[in-house]
Structure 1
Amino acid sequence: MPFGDDKINSSWEAVKELKRLGLSKSVDLHVQEIPVEYEAVRDLLPLLWKQHQPKLVVHVGMSWKATTVTLEQCGHNTGYERLDNCGFCPACHCCVKGGPDTIQSVLDMEAVCQRVRDSGLKVAVSVSKDAGRYLCDYSYYTSLYLGERRCAFVHVPPLDKPYSSKELGTALQVVVTEMLQLLTKVERTEKQPHNPSCQHHH
C-alpha cells in the first residue's frame, strides 16, 4: 500500500517481482498486500496464519532510511505512537497486551545475511535489531507472536535508491530461499533426540 508521501511502495513492487520470479518448485508461495493500518494488521494476520498455516512468513516493508536490503532480527511489543494511514494509533501503544517486550525470529539473521552475501548477490544486505516502531515492526511482532517465531521481516529502500524493483525482487528471491534452507536446518536440529546422561537407580 502507499506509505506516507510515497505513491509507490517499493516493498510491494519488490514482492510483485518476487512473485513473477518465483521460488523453487517445492515452495508454495502466497503473496498478500497488507494495508499500512494497525487495525488491518490486527484483523488480517491471524486469518492468514490460520488459512495458510505457513512454514515461514516473510514480511517486506519499505524504509526511507534504508540503503540496503535489511533483515530484521526481532519485533518489539511497545512504543507504537505514530498514526497510521487512517490516522489511528492503538490506545495501548502495543501489539499484544502482556506480551514479551521483544520476540526474536527463529532464524539467525546474521547467518542468513552471510549466506546471501556468499551467494554473490549484487545487492547489499545488512542486519538490524530495530524495525522502527511503526507498522513494519507492529506487523513483524504480531506474526512472530502468532507463528511461534517462524517469521522474518525484510526492509527495502525506496525504488532506485539505489535499487530497481527487479533488483529488489531478485534480492528477495535469494533471501527467502536462504531463509527456507536455514529454517530446514533449524527444524532438523529441533527434531534431534536429546541424549541425557544415563542414570542408574539402585
Structure 2
Amino acid sequence: MAEKKTVIVTGFEPFGEHAVNASWVAVQELEKLGLGQNVDLHVSEVPVEYQAVQNLLPSLWKQYHPQLVVHVGVSGMATTVTLEKCGHNHGYSRLDNCNFYPGSECCMDGGPECIHSVIDMDAICKRVNSSGLGVTLSVSKDAGRYLCEYTYYTSLYLGKGRSAFVHVPPLGKPYSAEELAQALRAVILEMLELMEHNTEKQLCQHGQ
C-alpha cells in the first residue's frame, strides 16, 4: 500500500473588509471532503499577523514533516482561483491586524529575493481547468506583498519550495465555499501527483 502523505492546508482569519475570510471557510469545507485515505490532512487557521506567522510556520513544518504545505488566502480582486508561483522577500510595509509590520520590511534577513515553488503551477492550472470542474483557475507571480505572500515566502523558505499558495475570491463572487473546496481538493491532489512523478523521475535519473 502507498505510504501515507501528510499535507497541511491553512486559511486566514478575518481582516480588513473580509469579516468572513473565504480562505478559512473553504479550508474547513475541504477538511470535510478530505484528500482520500492515503493523505493525512491537517488544517490550521493563520492569524493575519507577521509575528504570529513567524512563530506558527516553523512549528507546523517541524511537527508534521509534511510533503506539501498549501496556504489559502482571500483576494478581493480575484475572480478565479489563483495559483501563486513564487514569494518575494521584500516590500512588507502594510500594517497587520496588530497594527504592526516588520521594521526591515522583509521576511527573512539574508534570504533570496524570490523563491519559486517546486510545483509547476502552469501544469496544475491546465490540468484542473480541463477537468470540467466548473471552477476557473489562473496563475500569478505576485501574491500581493501582505500576509499572504509573507506566509508563502516563509513556507517556501522553510520547506525548500515544497509549498503552494492559492488565492480565492470572496464567497459568492462567484463561487460558494463548497465549490472552492472542490477546487482546492482537485488542485492539491494534482500537486501531490506531480510531485510524486517528479521524484520518480529524479530517482530514475540518479539510478542510471
TM-score by length of 1: 0.95
Q: 2:197 aligns with which of 185, 191, 194?
A: 185
TM-superposition CA deviations, 1:145-173 (whole Å, max 9, x none)? 00010000000000101111111111111
Q: 2:112 aligns with which of 78, 92, 100?
A: 100
Matches within 5 A, 1:115-154: 115-154=127-166
1:194 deviation in Å? 4.1
Residue 37 of structure 1 aligns with an amino acid whose one-letter code is: E
Q: 2:178 aligns with which of 163, 166, 171?
A: 166
Partner residue, 2:8: none
Identity %: 62
TM-superposition CA deviations, 1:65-116 (whole Å, max 9, x none)? 1000000000000000100011000000000001111000000100000111
Distance, in Å, in 2 between the alignment partners of 1:118 and 1:21 is: 21
The 3-state SS of whatever aligns with 2:72 is strand
The structure where strand makes up a greater share of residues is: 2
Residue 103 of structure 2 aligns with an amino acid whose one-letter code is: A
Distance, in Å, in 2 between the alignment partners of 1:166 and 1:139 is: 24
Distance, in Å, in 2 between the alignment partners of 1:195 and 1:36 is: 45
Partner residue, 1:199: none
Residue 94 of structure 1 aligns with an amino acid whose one-letter code is: C
Unaligned runs of 5+ in 2: 1-12
Residue 134 of structure 1 aligns with an amino acid whose one-letter code is: Y
Residue 73 of structure 2 aligns with an amino acid whose one-letter code is: G
Distance, in Å, in 2 between the alignment partners of 1:193 and 1:156 is: 37
The 3-state SS of whatever aligns with 1:31 is strand
Equivalenced residue count is 196
TM-score by length of 2: 0.92
Larger radius of gyration: 1
Distance, in Å, in 2 between the alignment partners of 1:186 and 1:123 is: 26
1:192 deviation in Å? 2.4
Distance, in Å, in 1 between the alignment partners of 2:139 and 2:57 is: 24
1:117 deviation in Å? 1.2
